[in-house]
Amino acid sequence: MATVAAGPHRGAPGFARRALTSDHLAGWLFVLPAVFLVALFSIFPIIWGFILSMQKASLLSPSRPFVGFDNYTHIANDPLARQAAVNAVYYTCLFVPISIIIALFLAIALNQKIRLIRFYRLAVFIPVAVSTIATGVMFMWVFDANFGLANWALGGVGLGPFGWFDSVSGAMPSLVIMTVWGWLGFDAIIYLAALQGVPHELVEAAAVDGASRWTIFRHVTLPLLGPATLLLVVWSTISAVQLFDEVFFITRGGPLGRTSVPVYYIYRLAFTSSYGFSAAGYAAALAYVLFVVILILTLVQFWLGNRVVHYSS
């Protein structure tokens, strides 16, 4: 029986009194501003976006008739949505494996105690710190079909001029090259940290047992890099499917729609009048479908990953 020294003739303190003096309340109050910001900028738009996806809406006019799930069913009949999906798959299937594999070898190279290693690690990470627009400006010059550095250098060894961003079939691969260059450093640093977490005793033990360097790598190091690989695969896939900056700035979905990725298509639907004025609702529906797709992809990757990855305790 609680005997709280709150004064004579009083029972247990009232709810309000308990609430105002509990430990929890102080904690909640300190966290409240952050919760408010998250609710305002994340949760509210998510809910509003879902409502928008059920309307035929223009962001410019207040008339927003309710159309139920029409926007969602229209996605199935929209060849441009299909094109965006195909482009996203194409880009992701190129970007994720290439960036991760190169980053792995880069991390191994950076995991040495040679002179200037700090400089090399910094140099590898700098492209990540450069903004996507600045990278875009640079690559627009490098990949310029007539006056660019790439064609000039390749011409010097006899390789014909490429269209790069101007080429119908080469625009997406050019985007892959540019974005891989921009993100390699991030993946490499993650792998570097993971590599340095590989216990030395295991490697030495394997060497003592007569394993070759390749065998050590394949059977000791690589499995222990599992968690890092899983993280990078999930992260890279999510950001690859959401590609936007480079498409918006350089190719604008072209040429002939070959680089029209989902987020760029959504942007054009909602914020330009190229597809009519009331396409914002449809754009919101597409955004929701994209979210669900990414969510499913992520869950599948985690499920597969957890079956394959060994977590060292």
Partner 1 sequence: MRTRKRKRTLVVAALAAIGLVAVACTSSSSDAGSPSGSAGGSGAPIELTMWHGYGKVIDNQGQTNYEAKSLTDLVDEYDAMNTGIHVNLDYIGSNDNALTKLTVALNAGEPPDITYQYGTSMPQLATAPGIVDLTDKVQDPTFNWSDFSQGAQQAATVDGHVYGVPALIDNLAIVYNKDLFQQAGVSPPTANWTWDDFVAAAKALTDPSKQQYGFAFPIDASEDTTWHYDAMLWEGGGDILNADNTQAAFNSDAGVQALTTLQQMAVTDKSVFLDQQNSGKIQQLFNAGNIGMLVTGPWDLSSLPDVNYGVQIMPSYPGGSHATIAGPDMWVMFDNNGHGDAAWQFMQWLTAAQQVKADSMESGHLPIRNSVVDEPGFLKAFDAKFPGEGLFAQNLANVTKARPVITTYDQISRIMAEAIVKVMLGQGDPKTSLDDAANQVNQVLGGG
| Residues engaged in binding partner 1 (CB under 8 A) | 5, 20-23, 25-26, 29-30, 32-33, 58-62, 140, 146-147, 165-166, 168, 250-257, 271-277
Closer to partner 1 by Cβ: residue 228 or 280: 280
User: Token pair of 288, please?
Assistant: 């929701």
Rounded to a whole number of angstroms, the minimum distance from the CB of residue 68 to partner 1 is: 19
Task: Determine the Cα–Cα distance for residues 82 and 312; give it in Å rounded to an integer.
Answer: 42
Closer to partner 1 by Cβ: residue 58 or 242: 58
Rounded to a whole number of angstroms, the minimum distance from the CB of residue 4 to partner 1 is: 10
Closer to partner 1 by Cβ: residue 23 or 201: 23
Answer for the pair 100, 187: CB distance below 8 angstroms, yes or no. yes
Closer to partner 1 by Cβ: residue 273 or 306: 273
Rounded to a whole number of angstroms, the minimum distance from the CB of residue 104 to partner 1 is: 34
**Torsion-angle region of residue 255: left (phi > 0), alpha (psi -120 to 50) or beta?**
beta
**Torsion-angle region of residue 128: left (phi > 0), alpha (psi -120 to 50) or beta?**
alpha
Rounded to a whole number of angstroms, the minimum distance from the CB of residue 46 to partner 1 is: 17
CA dihedral (32, 34, 38, 41) in degrees, to 10, reads 110
Rounded to a whole number of angstroms, the minimum distance from the CB of residue 249 to partner 1 is: 9
Closer to partner 1 by Cβ: residue 179 or 236: 179
Closer to partner 1 by Cβ: residue 105 or 277: 277
Rounded to a whole number of angstroms, the minimum distance from the CB of residue 32 to partner 1 is: 6
Rounded to a whole number of angstroms, the minimum distance from the CB of residue 260 to partner 1 is: 11
Concatenating the DSSP letter of every residue in 259-302 gives T--HHHHHHHHHHSSBTBSS-HHHHHHHHHHHHHHHHHHHHHHH
Q: What Cα–Cα distance (Å) separates residue 13 from each residue in 3, 4, 9, 21?
A: 10, 8, 11, 11
* β-bridge partners, 274: 276
Rounded to a whole number of angstroms, the minimum distance from the CB of residue 19 to partner 1 is: 10
Closer to partner 1 by Cβ: residue 27 or 197: 27
Greatest Cα pair distance, the chain, in angstroms, is 99
Task: Determine the Cα–Cα distance for residues 183 and 133; give it in Å rounded to an integer.
Answer: 14
User: Token pair of 127, please?
Assistant: 């492209």
Closer to partner 1 by Cβ: residue 57 or 189: 57
Task: Give the residue from 246, 270, 280, 73 showing the smallest Cα distance to 174.
Answer: 246
